[in-house]
Amino acid sequence: MEYLQKQDKEVFKIIEGEEKRQDEGLELIPSENYVSAAVMEATASVLTNKYSEGYPGKRYYGGQEFTDKIELLAIERAKELFNCEHANVQPLGGANANIGVYFALLEPGDTVLGMDLSHGGHLTHGHPVTAISKIFNFVRYKMKNVETGEIDYEELREIALKEKPKIILAGFSAYPRELDWKKFKDIADEVGAYTVADVAHIAGLIVGGVHENPFDYGFDVLTTTTHKTLRGPRGGMILIREKGEIAKKIDKAIFPGFQGGPHMHQIAAKAVCFGEALTPQFGKYSAQVIKNAQAMAEVFEKEGARMITGGTSNHLILLDTVTSFNLTGAEAEKALDEAGMTLNKNVIADDVRSPLDPSGIRFGTPAVTTRKFKEEECRQVAEWMIEVLKDVQKAGEVREKIKDLCEKFPFPHIFV
Ligand code: DSN
């Protein structure tokens, strides 16, 4: 960053501070990761200068020789990764991807059946605080058993038969288990609904071959971000199983429907990330993410701590800190932050506390696995977490140990 350093020391110093924070602390937020230097270079490239409204071959500005090539390359790689016929790589984020799908497939007032926020769903699955909840009608399903994580598929079917949703949305941002894609698809077929899976959290696990792909069960559409387990730049994407009407409607909904010019530098970085995800190393990475999360869960289990669903089958863990350590989610987040472990407070199923100070925390292993942690290091991190959660005064002491560990595992810049 030599130019930035010379021209604007103020900004340079802030970014430098963030780099140090990322380097010396542990990133345990399950929706974050470290990108490769190649992804970063593409993100910082001259493509940031270019306007490209439209789609390859059909743009509203001149000078698209290279933007068309990069978008087509990203699309081809995305299709190969997820085994589908169409991809829209323009959504600026996961929320945009979900909203684009609603506008493509629904009329105002139509119903979407999605997962309850406190049971793991996402704001864009129709929480009343969102703008989309004023346009569409969102109804919710939940887990049947919070201790095992089993979704109440019978209730889901009953709600679907009663409410006649046009979309059944399977997906989550805080659920530590796998969903039964087939059950969702069967219920959707019974009521004539589209099947949409929001795989933002598990996209990397799917393309790495360690979680099932909803397209294998006939899902119509997948939405995702590109920066979580997929380990790419911040951004979103929509994948459509078949070329045809749904794909056309989705393209129109994104542009000109509700986005303007796509961010071509991000699309270039998405192409780089997809290239990385197509390598065999990525499959090993994905498998290790889950092994690492399960190693952490074992330590919490031995401690007798209460994890929502009793453990994890993916990259994340939800811990009830009030029951286990007599700390609210906000208190736990703060203490662990002071110890150099970044994670987030999170509501747990049917939480009686507010989202700003809920009953639990959410953490996971995508970033530390990129850092090359294996089960041994993850078990150690879980033990340090417990030490701090039992006695918040230990935060400073643990921070030093984490700094030492981080020195041994500097976050890597080159992956392939
Ligand atoms: N903000 C993301 C997460 O942390 O899960 C979801 O969009």
Q: Are 343 and 28 in contact (CB under 8 A)?
A: yes
Closest CA to 119 of 170, 174, 156, 159: 174
Among 185, 234, 345, 399, the one annotated catalytic: 234
**365: which residues sit within 8 A by CB, 6+ positions away?**
28, 30, 289, 290, 292, 293, 296, 315, 316, 373, 378
Contact 124, 99 (CB under 8 A): yes
Name the token pair of 320: 């009830």
Q: How far, in Å, are 206, 256, 299, 388 from residue 294 at the CA level?
A: 17, 44, 9, 20
Sheet of 360-364, strand order = 316-320, 360-364, 344-346
Q: What is the DSSP string of 93-113?
A: SHHHHHHHHHHHH--TT-EEE
51 as an active site residue: the answer is: yes
**Spacing, Cα 64 to ligand 1 middle (Å):** 33
Question: What is the third-level CATH fold of 281-408?
Answer: Aspartate Aminotransferase, domain 1 (3.90.1150)
Evaluate whether 41-277 and 281-408 have a shared fold: no
Q: Which residue's alpha carbon is at the smallest distance from atom 5 of ligand 1?
A: 173
State the DSSP string of 69-98: HHHHHHHHHHHHHHT-SEEE---SSHHHHH
Q: Known catalytic residue: 60?
A: no
Q: What residue owns the CA closest to ligand 1's atom 2?
A: 31
pLDDT per residue as tens digits for the range 131-163: 999 999 999 999 998 988 889 999 999 999 999
CB 240 within 8 A of CB 247: yes
Q: Which atom of ligand 1 is nearest to the CA of 225?
A: 7
**Peptide linkage before 256 cis (omega within 30 of 0):** yes
Element (H, E) at 154: helix 153-163
Q: How far is the CA of 173 from the centre of ligand 1 (A)?
A: 6
Q: What is the DSSP string of 228-275?
A: STT---S-EEEEESSSSHHHHHHHHIIIIII--S--HHHHHHHHHHHH
Are the C-beta atoms of residues 411 and 22 closer than 8 Å to each other?
yes
* CA 31 to ligand 1 centroid distance, Å: 6
**pLDDT attached to residue 416:** 62
pLDDT at 85: 98
Q: Which atom of ligand 1 is nearest to the CA of 94?
A: 7
Decide if 147 contacts 93 (C-beta within 8 A).
no
Average of per-residue pLDDT values in the chain: 96
Q: pLDDT tens digit string along 185-204?
A: 999 999 999 999 999 999 99
Question: Distance, CA 332 to ligand 1 centroid (Å)?
Answer: 19
Task: Clarify whether 102 is annotated catalytic.
Answer: no
Domain assignments of the chain as residue spans, ordered by start: 41-277, 281-408
Ligand 1 center from residue 300 Cα (angstroms): 23
* 110-125 per-position pLDDT tens digit: 999 999 998 999 999 9
Q: What share of the chain is helix, strand, coil (3-state, %, to 5)?
A: 50, 15, 35
Active site residue 53: yes
Mean pLDDT of 219-241: 98
- Tell me, what's the pLDDT at 199? 98
Query: Residue with the nearest Cα to atom 3 of ligand 1?
Result: 31
Catalytic residue among 77, 228, 345, 399: 228
> Considering 24, 53, 68, 301, which one is annotated as catalytic?
53
Q: How far apart are CA 143 and CA 152, in angstroms?
A: 5
* Residues 50-90 pLDDT 10s: 999 999 999 999 999 999 999 999 999 999 999 999 999 99
Confidence of residue 414 (pLDDT cuts 50, 70, 90): confident
pLDDT value at position 107? 98
Ligand 1 atom with the smallest distance to the CA of 174 is 5
Going by alpha carbons, the residue nearest to atom 1 of ligand 1 is 31
Letter for the amino acid at 278? L
| C-beta separation of 371 from 408 below 8 A | no
Residues 311-338 pLDDT 10s? 999 999 999 999 999 999 999 999 999 9
* Fold adopted by 41-277: Aspartate Aminotransferase; domain 2 (3.40.640)
Between 395-408 and 375-390, two packed helices, what is the crossing angle to 10 degrees? 170
Residues with CB under 6 A from ligand 1: 31, 94, 122, 173
Q: Residue 415 pLDDT > 90, yes or no? A: no
Tell me how far apart the alpha carbons of residues 403 and 409 are, in angstroms, rounded to a whole number. Answer: 10
Query: How far is it, in rounded angstroms, from Cα 161 to Cα 139?
Result: 12
- Residue 3 tokens read as 């130019």
- Residue to mutate, 27, 28, 29, 31, ligand 1, most ligand atoms under 8 Å from C-beta: 31
Q: Who contacts 254 (Cβ-Cβ below 8 Å, separation ≥6)?
A: 88, 90, 91, 96, 100, 238
pLDDT number for residue 413: 76
Q: How many residues appear in the chain?
A: 416
pTM of the complete model: 0.96
Total Cβ atoms within 10 A of residue 215: 22
